[in-house]
Amino acid sequence: MKVLITTDWYRPAVNGVVTSVRNLAEGLKLDAFLAPLPPAERSALRAKLGLGADDLALTFVGRLAKEKNVSELLAFLPAAPRNVKLLLVGDGPCWHELEAQARERGLTDRVLFAGMAAPERVADCYKAGDVFVSASRSETQGLTYLEAMASGLPLLCREDDCLKGVLSPGENGFSYTTEAGFSAAVRALQSAALRRRLGTAAQALAEARFSEAGFARAALAVYESCLAGAMGARAA
């Protein structure tokens, strides 16, 4: 028996040489995201970003570009309760266009442009928020989704193929395809208890499946299974 262990990036066919293929999610360095942010530091960072204690921060981290579809989030925001704010962490060619859209819709106090965060501060920016939000339909691996999950944030994302095996609606977040679906999810996420439950599940999945330690455990399990099978075949 020949087993090839690979990541999601590479899916070879089973043939005369390889008799079994096990696809494992590539292990990511998530330690900084898994580490908790002290409450006092989180409160101070939220205040610096323009977030109040009672605000619900929908946090986007990424490039402000057309393919990220951030304009959809601004279009859907007016229907959300007034305490819901959109925190945009990142830079890109659509910055000024999105600023103009926020002004036209009267959202300048609800759309917060944080700019590009230093690499060592990105994890804290996730943790300052309450929900990770994305309207992108152009992702492949979706690294920011995994970072957000590791930070303990529930997901609110436009339905996309890259979310298979990552987002389980009702378990670690919600997906949407329409403005009505987005608004319903935002209303549900006003519940702090629900956010905690979904965020805890999201973080557990990120650590178990997508971290370096999770990859190592999964690879070890495959090797142990193969060894047990080989020993059993030899004994027979």
pLDDT score for 233: 53
What is the model's pLDDT at position 184? 98
CATH at 144: 3.40.50.2000
Global pTM reads 0.81
Helix, coil or strand: residue 164: coil
Are residues 174 and 91 located together in one domain of the fold?
Answer: yes
How many domains is the chain partitioned into structurally?
2
Residues 95 and 98: their CA atoms lie apart, in Å, by 5
Q: Check whether residue 12 and residue 64 sit in a common domain.
A: no
Task: Indicate whether 220 and 116 sit together in one domain.
Answer: no
Domain that holds residue 195: 31-210
- pLDDT averaged over consecutive 10-residue blocks of the chain (236 residues)? 48 51 58 96 98 97 96 97 98 98 98 97 98 91 91 97 92 97 98 98 95 46 46 57
Specify the pLDDT at position 228. 47
Considering the domain architecture, whether residues 45 and 105 belong to the same structural domain is answered as yes
- pLDDT of 234: 61
1 with 230: CB under 8 angstroms?
A: yes
